[in-house]
Structure 1
Protein backbone atom coordinates (compact mmCIF):
# COMPACT_ATOMS: atom_id res chain seq x y z
CA UNK A 1 0.00 0.00 0.00
CA UNK A 2 1.26 3.46 -0.88
CA UNK A 3 2.08 5.68 2.09
CA UNK A 4 -0.16 8.73 1.83
CA UNK A 5 1.11 11.96 3.43
CA UNK A 6 -1.20 13.37 6.08
CA UNK A 7 -3.44 16.29 5.11
CA UNK A 8 -5.15 16.75 8.49
CA UNK A 9 -3.48 20.13 9.10
CA UNK A 10 -4.47 21.59 5.71
CA UNK A 11 -7.54 23.52 4.57
CA UNK A 12 -7.19 22.14 1.03
CA UNK A 13 -5.05 19.35 -0.38
CA UNK A 14 -3.66 18.49 -3.79
CA UNK A 15 -1.33 15.79 -5.07
CA UNK A 16 1.58 15.26 -7.41
CA UNK A 17 0.70 11.83 -8.80
CA UNK A 18 3.34 9.91 -10.75
CA UNK A 19 6.38 7.66 -10.59
CA UNK A 20 9.20 8.44 -10.13
CA UNK A 21 8.78 11.98 -8.81
CA UNK A 22 11.68 12.30 -6.36
CA UNK A 23 13.32 15.15 -8.32
CA UNK A 24 10.12 17.08 -9.07
CA UNK A 25 10.02 20.74 -8.08
CA UNK A 26 6.24 20.87 -8.46
CA UNK A 27 5.34 20.76 -4.72
CA UNK A 28 7.91 23.50 -4.00
CA UNK A 29 6.59 25.69 -6.82
CA UNK A 30 2.99 25.39 -5.65
CA UNK A 31 3.86 25.84 -1.96
CA UNK A 32 5.54 29.12 -2.90
CA UNK A 33 2.31 30.24 -4.55
CA UNK A 34 0.08 29.20 -1.64
CA UNK A 35 2.37 30.79 0.96
CA UNK A 36 2.40 33.97 -1.11
CA UNK A 37 -1.40 34.01 -1.19
CA UNK A 38 -1.73 33.15 2.51
CA UNK A 39 -3.45 29.83 1.80
CA UNK A 40 -3.16 26.82 4.11
CA UNK A 41 -2.89 24.50 1.12
CA UNK A 42 -0.26 22.02 -0.05
CA UNK A 43 0.49 19.72 -2.94
CA UNK A 44 1.57 16.40 -1.45
CA UNK A 45 3.86 14.06 -3.41
CA UNK A 46 2.23 10.72 -4.22
CA UNK A 47 4.95 8.55 -5.78
CA UNK A 48 2.73 5.73 -6.97
CA UNK A 49 1.46 3.66 -9.88
CA UNK A 50 -1.76 2.77 -8.00
CA UNK A 51 -4.54 4.51 -9.91
CA UNK A 52 -7.32 3.11 -7.68
CA UNK A 53 -5.67 4.54 -4.58
CA UNK A 54 -5.38 7.96 -6.24
CA UNK A 55 -9.03 7.88 -7.33
CA UNK A 56 -10.00 7.22 -3.70
CA UNK A 57 -7.88 10.10 -2.39
CA UNK A 58 -9.45 12.66 -4.72
CA UNK A 59 -12.90 12.00 -3.20
CA UNK A 60 -11.72 13.97 -0.14
CA UNK A 61 -13.85 17.15 0.16
CA UNK A 62 -10.62 19.09 0.78
CA UNK A 63 -9.12 17.97 -2.57
CA UNK A 64 -8.56 20.88 -4.97
CA UNK A 65 -6.63 19.25 -7.82
CA UNK A 66 -3.54 17.37 -8.88
CA UNK A 67 -0.50 17.46 -11.09
CA UNK A 68 -0.51 14.22 -13.07
CA UNK A 69 2.79 13.06 -14.48
CA UNK A 70 4.22 9.93 -16.08
CA UNK A 71 3.08 7.20 -16.33
CA UNK A 72 -0.48 8.44 -15.76
CA UNK A 73 -1.02 11.28 -18.26
CA UNK A 74 -2.99 9.11 -20.69
CA UNK A 75 -4.27 6.48 -18.24
CA UNK A 76 -6.13 9.14 -16.21
CA UNK A 77 -8.27 10.25 -19.17
CA UNK A 78 -10.95 7.55 -18.86
CA UNK A 79 -11.53 8.49 -15.21
CA UNK A 80 -12.38 12.14 -15.89
CA UNK A 81 -15.77 13.76 -16.38
CA UNK A 82 -14.49 16.12 -19.06
CA UNK A 83 -11.43 17.66 -20.70
CA UNK A 84 -10.54 21.18 -21.75
CA UNK A 85 -9.78 21.71 -25.47
CA UNK A 86 -6.02 21.54 -24.75
CA UNK A 87 -6.34 18.24 -22.88
CA UNK A 88 -8.56 16.78 -25.59
CA UNK A 89 -6.42 17.90 -28.51
CA UNK A 90 -3.09 16.81 -27.02
CA UNK A 91 -4.57 13.55 -25.73
CA UNK A 92 -2.77 13.77 -22.39
CA UNK A 93 -3.69 15.27 -19.02
CA UNK A 94 -1.10 16.76 -16.68
CA UNK A 95 -3.58 18.71 -14.54
CA UNK A 96 -6.74 17.69 -12.72
CA UNK A 97 -9.10 20.28 -11.28
CA UNK A 98 -12.53 20.21 -9.67
CA UNK A 99 -15.75 21.94 -10.68
CA UNK A 100 -19.36 21.51 -9.55
CA UNK A 101 -22.19 20.67 -11.93
CA UNK A 102 -24.44 23.77 -11.85
CA UNK A 103 -27.60 21.64 -12.05
CA UNK A 104 -26.89 18.71 -9.74
CA UNK A 105 -24.01 20.24 -7.72
CA UNK A 106 -22.18 16.95 -8.27
CA UNK A 107 -18.42 17.24 -8.13
CA UNK A 108 -16.81 16.99 -11.57
CA UNK A 109 -13.22 16.01 -12.24
CA UNK A 110 -11.84 17.93 -15.21
CA UNK A 111 -8.52 17.40 -16.99
CA UNK A 112 -6.38 19.82 -18.92
CA UNK A 113 -2.86 20.06 -20.29
CA UNK A 114 -0.81 23.01 -19.08
CA UNK A 115 2.43 21.69 -20.61
CA UNK A 116 1.41 23.38 -23.86
CA UNK A 117 0.86 26.69 -22.06
CA UNK A 118 4.23 26.33 -20.32
CA UNK A 119 5.96 26.02 -23.68
CA UNK A 120 4.04 28.93 -25.17
CA UNK A 121 4.59 31.27 -22.23
CA UNK A 122 8.27 30.34 -21.87
CA UNK A 123 8.73 31.98 -25.27
CA UNK A 124 6.36 34.93 -24.92
CA UNK A 125 7.57 35.86 -21.44
CA UNK A 126 11.24 35.83 -22.51
CA UNK A 127 11.20 37.15 -26.09
CA UNK A 128 10.50 40.87 -26.51
CA UNK A 129 9.82 40.77 -30.27
CA UNK A 130 8.10 37.52 -31.33
CA UNK A 131 7.42 38.92 -34.81
CA UNK A 132 11.14 39.29 -35.51
CA UNK A 133 12.11 36.12 -33.64
CA UNK A 134 9.69 33.34 -34.56
CA UNK A 135 6.27 34.41 -35.85
CA UNK A 136 5.46 33.13 -39.36
CA UNK A 137 8.72 31.15 -39.53
CA UNK A 138 9.29 27.38 -39.36
CA UNK A 139 9.33 25.82 -35.90
CA UNK A 140 11.62 22.96 -34.92
CA UNK A 141 10.96 20.17 -32.42
CA UNK A 142 13.77 17.87 -31.29
CA UNK A 143 12.47 14.56 -29.95
CA UNK A 144 9.59 12.16 -30.39
CA UNK A 145 7.86 11.74 -27.03
CA UNK A 146 4.99 13.39 -25.17
CA UNK A 147 6.79 16.73 -24.76
CA UNK A 148 7.35 16.81 -28.53
CA UNK A 149 3.58 16.51 -29.08
CA UNK A 150 2.97 19.39 -26.67
CA UNK A 151 5.60 21.46 -28.49
CA UNK A 152 3.95 20.84 -31.86
CA UNK A 153 0.62 21.92 -30.40
CA UNK A 154 2.02 25.16 -28.95
CA UNK A 155 3.92 26.04 -32.13
CA UNK A 156 0.93 25.34 -34.35
CA UNK A 157 -1.89 26.69 -32.17
CA UNK A 158 -0.40 29.84 -30.70
CA UNK A 159 3.07 30.63 -32.01
CA UNK A 160 2.30 31.08 -35.71
CA UNK A 161 4.77 28.46 -36.99
CA UNK A 162 4.55 28.33 -40.78
CA UNK A 163 5.64 24.68 -40.75
CA UNK A 164 7.20 22.37 -38.20
CA UNK A 165 10.42 20.40 -38.61
CA UNK A 166 11.00 17.33 -36.43
CA UNK A 167 14.46 15.98 -35.73
CA UNK A 168 14.82 12.71 -33.85
CA UNK A 169 17.05 9.64 -33.86
CA UNK A 170 14.08 7.27 -34.29
CA UNK A 171 12.00 7.55 -37.48
CA UNK A 172 9.16 5.43 -36.08
CA UNK A 173 8.69 7.86 -33.18
CA UNK A 174 8.54 10.78 -35.62
CA UNK A 175 5.99 8.97 -37.79
CA UNK A 176 3.86 8.36 -34.68
CA UNK A 177 4.02 12.04 -33.66
CA UNK A 178 3.07 13.25 -37.16
CA UNK A 179 0.21 10.75 -37.50
CA UNK A 180 -1.16 11.49 -34.04
CA UNK A 181 -0.97 15.28 -34.44
CA UNK A 182 -2.66 15.01 -37.85
CA UNK A 183 -5.44 12.84 -36.38
CA UNK A 184 -5.99 15.43 -33.64
CA UNK A 185 -6.23 18.30 -36.08
CA UNK A 186 -2.91 20.14 -35.67
CA UNK A 187 -0.54 18.10 -37.82
CA UNK A 188 -0.42 20.15 -41.02
CA UNK A 189 2.90 21.06 -42.65
CA UNK A 190 5.07 18.81 -40.48
CA UNK A 191 8.34 17.54 -41.90
CA UNK A 192 10.71 14.89 -40.60
CA UNK A 193 14.20 16.20 -41.35
CA UNK A 194 16.13 12.95 -41.64
CA UNK A 195 19.50 13.99 -43.12
CA UNK A 196 21.91 16.90 -43.07
CA UNK A 197 21.49 17.18 -46.84
CA UNK A 198 17.76 17.82 -46.34
CA UNK A 199 18.46 20.33 -43.56
CA UNK A 200 20.83 22.32 -45.75
CA UNK A 201 18.01 23.09 -48.21
CA UNK A 202 15.52 24.34 -45.60
CA UNK A 203 14.71 27.82 -44.30
CA UNK A 204 16.03 28.38 -40.80
CA UNK A 205 13.62 27.95 -37.87
CA UNK A 206 12.54 30.73 -35.53
CA UNK A 207 11.39 28.81 -32.44
CA UNK A 208 13.05 25.54 -31.40
CA UNK A 209 11.88 23.21 -28.63
CA UNK A 210 14.39 20.55 -27.55
CA UNK A 211 12.59 17.64 -25.87
CA UNK A 212 15.37 15.09 -25.38
CA UNK A 213 17.53 14.18 -22.37
CA UNK A 214 20.98 15.70 -22.05
CA UNK A 215 23.46 13.25 -23.56
CA UNK A 216 26.37 13.08 -25.97
CA UNK A 217 25.32 11.29 -29.17
CA UNK A 218 26.91 7.85 -29.52
CA UNK A 219 25.00 5.80 -32.13
CA UNK A 220 25.02 6.72 -35.83
CA UNK A 221 21.35 7.76 -35.59
CA UNK A 222 22.05 10.00 -32.59
CA UNK A 223 25.05 11.59 -34.30
CA UNK A 224 23.03 12.27 -37.46
CA UNK A 225 20.20 13.87 -35.46
CA UNK A 226 22.68 16.14 -33.63
CA UNK A 227 24.35 17.12 -36.93
CA UNK A 228 20.95 17.98 -38.43
CA UNK A 229 20.13 20.16 -35.41
CA UNK A 230 23.49 21.95 -35.66
CA UNK A 231 22.93 22.54 -39.39
CA UNK A 232 19.54 24.15 -38.74
CA UNK A 233 20.87 26.24 -35.83
CA UNK A 234 23.72 27.49 -38.02
CA UNK A 235 21.33 29.17 -40.49
CA UNK A 236 21.47 32.95 -40.83
CA UNK A 237 18.30 33.60 -38.80
CA UNK A 238 18.85 33.31 -35.06
CA UNK A 239 15.68 32.82 -33.02
CA UNK A 240 14.98 31.31 -29.61
CA UNK A 241 15.40 27.77 -28.34
CA UNK A 242 13.60 26.32 -25.31
CA UNK A 243 15.69 23.53 -23.77
CA UNK A 244 13.07 21.46 -21.93
CA UNK A 245 15.65 19.37 -20.05
CA UNK A 246 16.58 20.95 -16.70
CA UNK A 247 17.59 18.01 -14.47
CA UNK A 248 20.23 17.66 -13.15
CA UNK A 249 21.25 20.92 -14.85
CA UNK A 250 19.36 23.21 -17.23
CA UNK A 251 22.58 24.09 -19.05
CA UNK A 252 22.81 21.17 -21.49
CA UNK A 253 24.95 20.29 -24.51
CA UNK A 254 22.20 21.58 -26.79
CA UNK A 255 21.95 24.82 -24.79
CA UNK A 256 25.72 25.32 -25.13
CA UNK A 257 25.70 24.63 -28.88
CA UNK A 258 22.77 27.01 -29.36
CA UNK A 259 24.35 29.82 -27.40
CA UNK A 260 27.63 29.52 -29.33
CA UNK A 261 25.69 29.73 -32.60
CA UNK A 262 23.99 32.96 -31.51
CA UNK A 263 20.60 31.71 -30.33
CA UNK A 264 18.55 33.07 -27.43
CA UNK A 265 18.44 30.14 -24.97
CA UNK A 266 15.38 29.75 -22.73
CA UNK A 267 15.89 27.28 -19.87
CA UNK A 268 13.42 24.48 -19.25
CA UNK A 269 12.63 25.81 -15.79
CA UNK A 270 10.71 28.58 -17.58
CA UNK A 271 8.31 26.02 -19.07
CA UNK A 272 8.06 24.34 -15.66
CA UNK A 273 7.20 27.62 -13.95
CA UNK A 274 4.63 28.86 -16.49
CA UNK A 275 2.82 25.52 -16.71
CA UNK A 276 2.72 25.43 -12.91
CA UNK A 277 1.32 28.94 -12.65
CA UNK A 278 -1.33 27.97 -15.20
CA UNK A 279 -2.25 25.03 -12.95
CA UNK A 280 -2.64 27.38 -9.99
CA UNK A 281 -4.87 29.59 -12.10
CA UNK A 282 -7.29 26.65 -12.36
CA UNK A 283 -6.92 25.68 -8.71
CA UNK A 284 -7.06 29.07 -6.97
CA UNK A 285 -9.32 30.92 -9.41
CA UNK A 286 -6.84 33.80 -9.61
CA UNK A 287 -5.31 35.17 -12.81
CA UNK A 288 -1.66 34.32 -13.34
CA UNK A 289 -0.61 37.96 -12.87
CA UNK A 290 -2.14 37.83 -9.36
CA UNK A 291 0.23 35.02 -8.36
CA UNK A 292 3.72 35.59 -6.83
CA UNK A 293 5.56 35.10 -10.15
CA UNK A 294 8.83 36.75 -9.11
CA UNK A 295 9.04 34.74 -5.88
CA UNK A 296 8.43 31.48 -7.76
CA UNK A 297 11.32 32.28 -10.13
CA UNK A 298 13.60 33.05 -7.16
CA UNK A 299 12.71 29.84 -5.30
CA UNK A 300 13.17 27.59 -8.35
CA UNK A 301 16.51 29.26 -9.22
CA UNK A 302 17.69 28.76 -5.63
CA UNK A 303 16.67 25.10 -5.68
CA UNK A 304 18.60 24.55 -8.90
CA UNK A 305 21.71 26.23 -7.45
CA UNK A 306 21.45 24.07 -4.35
CA UNK A 307 21.33 20.88 -6.46
CA UNK A 308 24.62 21.83 -8.17
CA UNK A 309 26.55 22.04 -4.89
Structure 2
Protein backbone atom coordinates (compact mmCIF):
# COMPACT_ATOMS: atom_id res chain seq x y z
CA UNK A 1 0.00 0.00 0.00
CA UNK A 2 1.35 3.41 -0.93
CA UNK A 3 2.01 6.06 1.72
CA UNK A 4 2.34 9.82 1.50
CA UNK A 5 5.96 10.96 1.53
CA UNK A 6 8.22 13.96 1.34
CA UNK A 7 11.96 14.00 0.78
CA UNK A 8 15.12 16.03 0.45
CA UNK A 9 17.13 16.30 -2.76
CA UNK A 10 20.70 17.31 -3.46
CA UNK A 11 23.99 15.98 -4.75
CA UNK A 12 25.48 14.63 -2.54
CA UNK A 13 22.60 13.95 -0.16
CA UNK A 14 23.37 10.88 1.98
CA UNK A 15 24.74 13.11 4.77
CA UNK A 16 21.46 15.03 5.20
CA UNK A 17 19.92 15.01 8.67
CA UNK A 18 16.49 15.95 7.33
CA UNK A 19 15.17 12.35 7.20
CA UNK A 20 16.06 11.88 10.86
CA UNK A 21 14.35 15.14 11.88
CA UNK A 22 11.16 14.62 9.89
CA UNK A 23 11.04 10.90 10.66
CA UNK A 24 11.20 11.70 14.37
CA UNK A 25 8.30 14.15 14.11
CA UNK A 26 6.20 11.83 11.93
CA UNK A 27 6.58 9.08 14.49
CA UNK A 28 5.78 11.38 17.40
CA UNK A 29 2.70 12.75 15.63
CA UNK A 30 1.48 9.32 14.57
CA UNK A 31 1.34 10.38 10.92
CA UNK A 32 1.40 7.47 8.46
CA UNK A 33 3.89 9.01 6.06
CA UNK A 34 7.56 8.80 5.15
CA UNK A 35 10.42 11.21 4.64
CA UNK A 36 13.44 10.10 2.64
CA UNK A 37 16.45 11.44 0.79
CA UNK A 38 16.93 11.28 -2.96
CA UNK A 39 20.11 12.02 -4.87
CA UNK A 40 19.32 14.13 -7.92
CA UNK A 41 22.05 15.11 -10.37
CA UNK A 42 22.12 18.63 -11.77
CA UNK A 43 20.91 17.52 -15.19
CA UNK A 44 17.98 15.55 -13.71
CA UNK A 45 16.17 18.31 -11.81
CA UNK A 46 13.49 18.87 -14.46
CA UNK A 47 12.83 15.13 -14.81
CA UNK A 48 12.65 14.67 -11.05
CA UNK A 49 10.07 17.44 -10.60
CA UNK A 50 7.97 16.23 -13.56
CA UNK A 51 7.85 12.74 -12.05
CA UNK A 52 6.98 13.98 -8.57
CA UNK A 53 4.33 16.34 -9.93
CA UNK A 54 2.53 13.26 -11.31
CA UNK A 55 2.90 11.20 -8.10
CA UNK A 56 -0.22 11.56 -5.89
CA UNK A 57 1.66 10.31 -2.81
CA UNK A 58 4.36 12.99 -3.01
CA UNK A 59 3.86 15.92 -0.62
CA UNK A 60 6.97 17.95 -1.39
CA UNK A 61 10.69 18.16 -1.07
CA UNK A 62 13.40 20.07 0.70
CA UNK A 63 16.11 21.31 -1.63
CA UNK A 64 19.77 21.52 -0.75
CA UNK A 65 22.91 22.25 -2.72
CA UNK A 66 23.37 22.54 -5.62
CA UNK A 67 19.70 22.79 -6.65
CA UNK A 68 18.29 25.80 -4.78
CA UNK A 69 18.44 27.95 -7.91
CA UNK A 70 17.94 25.28 -10.57
CA UNK A 71 14.51 24.18 -9.31
CA UNK A 72 12.99 27.65 -9.59
CA UNK A 73 12.31 27.65 -13.32
CA UNK A 74 10.29 24.42 -13.01
CA UNK A 75 7.84 25.68 -10.37
CA UNK A 76 4.47 27.37 -10.82
CA UNK A 77 4.75 29.85 -7.95
CA UNK A 78 7.78 31.31 -6.17
CA UNK A 79 6.68 32.66 -2.80
CA UNK A 80 8.29 35.20 -0.56
CA UNK A 81 10.84 35.16 0.91
CA UNK A 82 12.25 32.76 -1.72
CA UNK A 83 11.67 35.29 -4.51
CA UNK A 84 13.68 38.00 -2.76
CA UNK A 85 16.35 35.67 -1.45
CA UNK A 86 16.76 34.15 -4.91
CA UNK A 87 16.76 30.55 -3.69
CA UNK A 88 14.19 27.83 -2.94
CA UNK A 89 14.78 25.27 -0.21
CA UNK A 90 11.23 23.90 0.09
CA UNK A 91 8.78 22.78 -2.62
CA UNK A 92 5.24 21.69 -1.88
CA UNK A 93 2.08 20.97 -3.82
CA UNK A 94 -0.77 23.38 -3.17
CA UNK A 95 -4.41 22.33 -3.01
CA UNK A 96 -4.92 23.28 -6.66
CA UNK A 97 -2.04 21.00 -7.72
CA UNK A 98 0.46 23.74 -8.49
CA UNK A 99 4.03 23.47 -7.25
CA UNK A 100 5.08 26.24 -4.89
CA UNK A 101 8.65 27.10 -3.95
CA UNK A 102 9.46 28.87 -0.72
CA UNK A 103 12.41 29.38 1.59
CA UNK A 104 12.25 28.29 5.22
CA UNK A 105 15.86 29.25 6.01
CA UNK A 106 14.84 32.80 6.92
CA UNK A 107 12.08 31.88 9.41
CA UNK A 108 14.19 28.97 10.63
CA UNK A 109 17.06 31.32 11.41
CA UNK A 110 14.78 33.74 13.25
CA UNK A 111 12.95 31.11 15.31
CA UNK A 112 15.41 30.90 18.24
CA UNK A 113 15.55 34.71 18.33
CA UNK A 114 11.81 35.21 18.48
CA UNK A 115 11.57 35.99 22.19
CA UNK A 116 14.23 38.69 21.79
CA UNK A 117 12.62 40.06 18.62
CA UNK A 118 9.28 40.39 20.38
CA UNK A 119 10.88 42.94 22.73
CA UNK A 120 11.31 46.61 21.89
CA UNK A 121 14.83 47.96 21.34
CA UNK A 122 16.30 51.40 20.81
CA UNK A 123 18.56 49.99 18.08
CA UNK A 124 19.34 46.63 16.52
CA UNK A 125 22.64 45.76 14.85
CA UNK A 126 23.94 42.50 13.40
CA UNK A 127 27.42 41.66 12.22
CA UNK A 128 27.05 38.90 9.62
CA UNK A 129 30.08 36.91 8.48
CA UNK A 130 29.74 35.41 5.01
CA UNK A 131 28.08 36.23 1.70
CA UNK A 132 26.88 32.83 0.43
CA UNK A 133 23.39 31.39 0.07
CA UNK A 134 22.71 31.12 3.80
CA UNK A 135 23.85 34.70 4.30
CA UNK A 136 21.33 35.87 1.70
CA UNK A 137 18.47 34.38 3.73
CA UNK A 138 19.85 35.81 6.97
CA UNK A 139 20.34 39.30 5.54
CA UNK A 140 16.76 39.30 4.27
CA UNK A 141 15.42 38.01 7.59
CA UNK A 142 17.28 40.47 9.82
CA UNK A 143 16.65 43.47 7.59
CA UNK A 144 12.96 42.67 7.91
CA UNK A 145 13.31 42.77 11.70
CA UNK A 146 14.74 46.27 11.76
CA UNK A 147 18.45 45.50 12.07
CA UNK A 148 21.25 47.66 10.77
CA UNK A 149 23.63 45.21 9.15
CA UNK A 150 27.38 44.96 8.84
CA UNK A 151 28.02 42.29 6.22
CA UNK A 152 31.57 40.92 6.04
CA UNK A 153 32.94 38.91 3.14
CA UNK A 154 36.21 38.09 1.51
CA UNK A 155 34.91 40.23 -1.38
CA UNK A 156 33.48 43.44 0.14
CA UNK A 157 32.10 44.50 -3.23
CA UNK A 158 30.01 41.32 -3.35
CA UNK A 159 28.81 42.08 0.16
CA UNK A 160 27.80 45.59 -0.93
CA UNK A 161 25.87 44.26 -3.91
CA UNK A 162 24.09 41.75 -1.71
CA UNK A 163 23.02 44.45 0.73
CA UNK A 164 21.86 46.74 -2.08
CA UNK A 165 19.80 43.90 -3.54
CA UNK A 166 18.24 42.44 -0.39
CA UNK A 167 18.15 45.36 2.05
CA UNK A 168 18.10 48.55 -0.03
CA UNK A 169 16.16 50.61 2.51
CA UNK A 170 18.65 50.60 5.40
CA UNK A 171 21.99 52.23 6.07
CA UNK A 172 23.97 49.02 6.03
CA UNK A 173 27.71 48.48 5.75
CA UNK A 174 29.91 46.08 3.78
CA UNK A 175 33.41 45.27 5.08
CA UNK A 176 36.25 42.87 4.43
CA UNK A 177 36.00 39.70 6.51
CA UNK A 178 39.63 40.22 7.51
CA UNK A 179 38.55 43.38 9.34
CA UNK A 180 37.27 41.21 12.19
CA UNK A 181 40.32 38.95 12.44
CA UNK A 182 42.60 41.28 14.42
CA UNK A 183 41.90 42.76 17.87
CA UNK A 184 40.38 46.21 18.17
CA UNK A 185 40.43 48.71 21.02
CA UNK A 186 37.14 50.25 19.90
CA UNK A 187 35.23 51.52 22.93
CA UNK A 188 31.61 50.45 22.57
CA UNK A 189 29.02 52.83 24.00
CA UNK A 190 26.28 51.86 26.43
CA UNK A 191 24.35 48.91 24.97
CA UNK A 192 21.37 49.08 27.33
CA UNK A 193 18.19 48.81 25.29
CA UNK A 194 20.10 47.61 22.22
CA UNK A 195 20.13 44.19 20.54
CA UNK A 196 23.44 43.07 19.02
CA UNK A 197 24.06 39.88 17.04
CA UNK A 198 27.24 38.37 15.64
CA UNK A 199 26.37 35.67 13.11
CA UNK A 200 28.66 33.23 11.35
CA UNK A 201 26.69 32.62 8.15
CA UNK A 202 29.67 31.07 6.37
CA UNK A 203 31.06 27.50 6.27
CA UNK A 204 34.25 28.70 7.96
CA UNK A 205 34.90 26.65 11.06
CA UNK A 206 33.02 23.66 9.64
CA UNK A 207 34.68 20.26 9.57
CA UNK A 208 36.97 20.20 6.53
CA UNK A 209 36.81 23.97 6.03
CA UNK A 210 39.32 26.67 6.99
CA UNK A 211 38.92 28.17 10.47
CA UNK A 212 36.91 31.31 11.11
CA UNK A 213 39.11 34.15 12.31
CA UNK A 214 36.97 36.46 14.42
CA UNK A 215 38.33 38.41 17.37
CA UNK A 216 35.61 38.96 19.95
CA UNK A 217 36.87 42.44 20.76
CA UNK A 218 34.65 43.32 17.77
CA UNK A 219 31.55 42.02 19.54
CA UNK A 220 29.65 44.59 21.61
CA UNK A 221 29.07 43.78 25.29
CA UNK A 222 26.12 41.43 25.65
CA UNK A 223 26.00 40.53 21.96
CA UNK A 224 24.49 37.17 21.05
CA UNK A 225 26.76 34.89 19.00
CA UNK A 226 24.97 32.66 16.48
CA UNK A 227 26.80 30.05 14.36
CA UNK A 228 24.86 28.20 11.64
CA UNK A 229 27.58 25.51 11.32
CA UNK A 230 26.37 22.08 12.46
CA UNK A 231 29.58 20.05 12.22
CA UNK A 232 31.07 20.52 14.71
CA UNK A 233 28.06 21.75 16.62
CA UNK A 234 30.10 23.49 19.31
CA UNK A 235 32.43 25.54 17.12
CA UNK A 236 35.49 27.48 18.31
CA UNK A 237 33.46 30.63 17.51
CA UNK A 238 30.78 29.63 20.03
CA UNK A 239 33.34 28.45 22.58
CA UNK A 240 35.14 31.80 22.47
CA UNK A 241 31.84 33.65 22.78
CA UNK A 242 30.87 31.69 25.89
CA UNK A 243 34.32 32.21 27.37
CA UNK A 244 33.68 35.92 27.04
CA UNK A 245 30.32 35.64 28.78
CA UNK A 246 28.19 36.03 25.67
CA UNK A 247 24.97 34.08 25.02
CA UNK A 248 25.09 31.69 22.05
CA UNK A 249 22.86 29.90 19.54
CA UNK A 250 24.16 26.85 17.65
CA UNK A 251 23.50 25.54 14.15
CA UNK A 252 20.91 22.96 15.16
CA UNK A 253 18.54 25.79 16.11
CA UNK A 254 18.31 26.99 12.50
CA UNK A 255 18.36 23.44 11.10
CA UNK A 256 15.42 22.38 13.25
CA UNK A 257 13.60 25.69 12.80
CA UNK A 258 13.67 25.57 9.01
CA UNK A 259 12.64 21.90 9.05
CA UNK A 260 9.64 22.72 11.26
CA UNK A 261 8.40 25.29 8.76
CA UNK A 262 8.80 22.80 5.90
CA UNK A 263 7.04 20.00 7.85
CA UNK A 264 3.92 22.13 8.10
CA UNK A 265 3.89 22.64 4.32
CA UNK A 266 4.30 18.91 3.68
CA UNK A 267 2.00 17.37 6.25
CA UNK A 268 -0.51 20.10 7.07
CA UNK A 269 0.27 20.50 10.74
CA UNK A 270 3.00 21.77 13.01
CA UNK A 271 5.53 19.17 14.15
CA UNK A 272 5.14 17.89 17.73
CA UNK A 273 7.57 20.04 19.71
CA UNK A 274 5.61 20.56 22.91
CA UNK A 275 8.37 18.94 24.94
CA UNK A 276 11.08 21.01 23.25
CA UNK A 277 13.79 19.70 20.95
CA UNK A 278 16.00 17.94 23.53
CA UNK A 279 15.17 14.41 22.33
CA UNK A 280 15.64 15.39 18.70
CA UNK A 281 18.97 17.05 19.47
CA UNK A 282 20.11 13.88 21.22
CA UNK A 283 19.27 11.87 18.10
CA UNK A 284 21.11 14.35 15.89
CA UNK A 285 24.26 14.20 18.00
CA UNK A 286 24.23 10.42 18.58
TM-score bin (small chain): 0.7 to 0.9
Deviation at 1:241, TM superposition (A): 2.0
Per-residue Cα deviation, 1:166-189 (whole angstroms, up to 9, x for no partner): 12233344234224325xxx5632
Counterpart in the other structure of 1:24 = 16
Q: Is 1:99–2:63 an aligned residue pair?
A: no
Judging changes above 3 Å, is the alpha-carbon distance between structure 1 residues 10 and 136 closer, same or farther for their aligned structure 2 residues? farther
Per-residue Cα deviation, 1:139-190 (whole angstroms, up to 9, x for no partner): 11111101111111111113x21x10112233344234224325xxx56322
Counterpart in the other structure of 2:152 = 167
Judging changes above 3 Å, is the alpha-carbon distance between structure 1 residues 231 and 34 closer, same or farther for their aligned structure 2 residues? same
Structure 2 distance, partners of 1:55, 1:150, is 24
Judging changes above 3 Å, is the alpha-carbon distance between structure 1 residues 48 and 299 closer, same or farther for their aligned structure 2 residues? farther
Q: Secondary structure at the match of 1:96?
A: strand
Counterpart in the other structure of 1:298 = 278
Per-residue Cα deviation, 1:230-266 (whole angstroms, up to 9, x for no partner): 2322x3x31222210012x211111112112221111
- Conserved? CA contact 1:19–1:48, under 8 Å: yes
Counterpart in the other structure of 2:113 = 123
- Conserved? CA contact 1:143–1:167, under 8 Å: yes
Judging changes above 3 Å, is the alpha-carbon distance between structure 1 residues 45 and 110 closer, same or farther for their aligned structure 2 residues? same
Deviation at 1:36, TM superposition (A): 1.8
Q: Secondary structure at the match of 2:31?
A: coil
Structure 1 distance, partners of 2:109, 2:243, is 23
Using the size of structure 2 for normalisation, the TM-score is 0.84
Judging changes above 3 Å, is the alpha-carbon distance between structure 1 residues 279 and 188 closer, same or farther for their aligned structure 2 residues? same
RMSD between aligned residues = 2.8
Deviation at 1:301, TM superposition (A): 1.7
Counterpart in the other structure of 1:242 = 226
Counterpart in the other structure of 1:63 = 58
Structure 2 distance, partners of 1:164, 1:97, is 32
Counterpart in the other structure of 2:234 = 251
Q: Secondary structure at the match of 1:28?
A: helix
- Conserved? CA contact 1:240–1:265, under 8 Å: yes
Structure that is richer in helix per residue: 1
Using the size of structure 1 for normalisation, the TM-score is 0.78
Structure 2 segments unaligned to the other structure (5+ residues)? none
Q: Is 1:54–2:44 an aligned residue pair?
A: no
Once the two structures are superposed, the pairs formed by residues 1-309 of structure 1 within 5 Å of their partners are 9-49=1-41, 50-58=44-52, 59-101=54-96, 107-124=97-114, 127=116, 130-131=119-120, 136-158=123-145, 160-161=146-147, 163-182=148-167, 186=168, 188-194=170-176, 195=179, 200=186, 206-215=196-205, 226-227=213-214, 229-233=215-219, 235=220, 237-247=221-231, 249-286=232-269, 288=270, 291-294=271-274, 297-306=277-286
Deviation at 1:283, TM superposition (A): 1.8
Structure 1 segments unaligned to the other structure (5+ residues)? 1-8, 102-106, 217-221
